[in-house]
Structure 1
């Protein structure tokens, strides 16, 4: 009888020991997670599928724009795509269309936080209360960021900088407003962001103390060029609706230099037009 009573006790003891070992394994995995992996599930998935990290890209040398398409199969569109951005806008080749619906911009002062993501200074809105309507389709502002010098050209010429306001609709399709920037008066609408520019790459977002008046960022004359393009950074995904303003806005020499001290150059060269139409509205 005593012998039979020992079996349940041994099973209970064994279960306790196995449970303790399992908990120690879980704690070790979470400890690894805190050092760089987002979730326990991602650790397991990476282990099971032997996933390699997405290769780093840059604007220089072996990882620069001319090599993006070679860095990873997911970047192949960067060299194989036929509708890549940015482009050179030759005004003599632009078509005017009366059928194109007017661009409707619905912006208001908004709280933002900024990050230095290693490629640009990017501003993220606290709430999605800003949008544009292009050909009857609404796109919500997702973020905006800066390039220097400008990525788009007008008649073969670059400007000092370019602002990209990236919008997304409910299906994940993108529309980007491109605003050229030239040296001139201080841009007061961007002063709060420029006062907090991170000098190096950040892991956490930096909150901007004052709301950004997005309407004040737009040129007074909003004559625009419309064309079908792509992201100007890997993976260079296409089917992006581009709206590039003809008239630039201004930033002071000091503001431009402050950005260039962080990013001496974060510009993709212009890509072939490949028989695409550029429509002026």
Structure 2
């Protein structure tokens, strides 16, 4: 079932790109051919950072080389919220309407704005990709961005995640409001040991200065 859902999601990414690409004469970024990541920096002046940035994401985390130091505790307080599933032309994104879910680090509060998925994972562990990666995007009042990355293995089905897959809009730009409130806490591990690095957005304009938190515990079994 999960393999079928991942294949469907991948197909939507491709079809979404084609649809959005046909609506303008300007080259739109994508993941294949001459608009794939290695060409993003040349597609628009706005995307130059994708080519010349010094702290670009995603990254390959080499476990044995990771610096072992005391990292601040994560205070993740996710609550059920009204949610809208959006096909943005590149991924299936869930926007949280109530903005009542927060992440607090060193006393600074970040609000969870949206989450989306990439298949396979973008970040790798010792060069290995995982089947699925969730990006939970948090923004502070001062504009600071923290992305919590959750890596997933294929396992038992998660009912709320299945609701997102079932409601996936097929066309770029389409939105579907979920009938029931959605609690993003069901999609992350309760174990909060993590890797941390300063990086960037993984899509154009590849803005740097993004703080990344990659949870060490993979979500598997009943979570997927």
TM-score range (shorter-chain normalised) is 0.7 to 0.9
For this pair of structures, how many residues does the alignment match?
A: 200
Structure 1 unmatched runs, 5+: 1-51, 256-281
Q: Following the alignment from structure 1 to structure 2, what is the Cα–Cα distance between the partners of residues 190 and 134?
A: 26
Q: Which runs of structure 2 are paired with 1:172-187 in the superposition (5 Å)?
A: 172-187=143-158
Select the residue among 206, 210, 228 that pairs with 2:180. Answer: 210
Please give the TM-score of this superposition, normalised by the length of structure 2.
Answer: 0.84
Answer yes or no: is 1:89 the counterpart of 2:47.
no
Q: Following the alignment from structure 1 to structure 2, what is the Cα–Cα distance between the partners of residues 105 and 184?
A: 24
Deviations 1:171-214 (A, max 9, x none): 111100000011111122312212211222134x2101122222
Q: 1 or 2, which has the higher helix percentage? A: 1
Answer yes or no: is 1:126 the counterpart of 2:97.
yes
Answer yes or no: is 1:115 the counterpart of 2:86.
yes
**Greater C-alpha Rg:** 1
**Which residue in the other structure is 1:230 paired with?**
200
Please give the TM-score of this superposition, normalised by the length of structure 1.
Answer: 0.68
**Which residue in the other structure is 1:72 paired with?**
44
Q: Which runs of structure 2 are paired with 1:20-99 in the superposition (5 Å)?
A: 55-98=27-70
Deviations 1:34-63 (A, max 9, x none): xxxxxxxxxxxxxxxxxx987411111111
Cα offset, 1:70, TM superposition: 0.5
**Which residue in the other structure is 2:5 paired with?**
none
Structure 1 residue runs of 4 or more that deviate by more than 4 Å after TM superposition: 52-55
Q: Following the alignment from structure 2 to structure 1, what is the Cα–Cα distance between the partners of residues 111 and 214?
A: 17
Q: Which runs of structure 2 are paired with 1:145-224 in the superposition (5 Å)?
A: 145-203=116-174, 205-224=175-194
Whether the aligned pair in 1 keeps the contact of 2:196 and 2:211 (CA below 8 Å) is yes
Whether the aligned pair in 2 keeps the contact of 1:107 and 1:130 (CA below 8 Å) is yes
Root-mean-square deviation over aligned CA pairs = 1.8
Whether the aligned pair in 2 keeps the contact of 1:222 and 1:247 (CA below 8 Å) is yes
Structure 2 unmatched runs, 5+: 1-23
**Which residue in the other structure is 1:241 paired with?**
211
Deviations 1:82-138 (A, max 9, x none): 10101001000111222x321110111111001111100010011110110123211
Whether the aligned pair in 2 keeps the contact of 1:101 and 1:136 (CA below 8 Å) is no
**Which residue in the other structure is 2:8 paired with?**
none
